[in-house]
């Protein structure tokens, strides 16, 4: 697993996120990320957990929408008690 903490990800929609925490759970990579302004100068109060997926042989990320998985990953990386 490559360490992506503090790296910036730019999504296809142009939004940019910085990886704050990273976890591997059941063989899947998860990234706790905060949205950045377009110029990458400031962190916005918009937090997302992404799951790394293989899409046609290329690594990509999908937002975790499942509330139980979201809480599990957040607890796993120490964001929840």
3-59 confidence digits (pLDDT tens): 899 999 999 999 999 999 999 999 999 999 999 999 999 999 999 999 999 989 999
Asked whether the predicted pLDDT for residue 60 surpasses 80, the reply is: yes
The stretches of the chain forming alpha helices (DSSP H) are: 67-76
**6: which DSSP letter?**
T
21, HSE (Cβ side, Cα atoms, 13 Å): 15
Q: Among candidates 69, 68, 36, which has minimal Cα distance to 50?
A: 69
Whole-prediction pTM value? 0.90
């Amino acid at each position: 697993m490559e360490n992506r903490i503090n790296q910036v990800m730019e999504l296809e929609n142009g939004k940019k996120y910085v990886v704050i925490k990273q976890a591997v759970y059941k063989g899947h990579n998860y990234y706790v990320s905060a949205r950045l302004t377009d110029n990458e100068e400031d962190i916005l109060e918009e937090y997302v957990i992404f799951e790394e997926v293989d899409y046609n042989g290329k690594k990509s990320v999908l937002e975790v929408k499942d509330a139980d998985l979201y809480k599990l990953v957040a607890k796993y990386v120490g964001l929840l008690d």
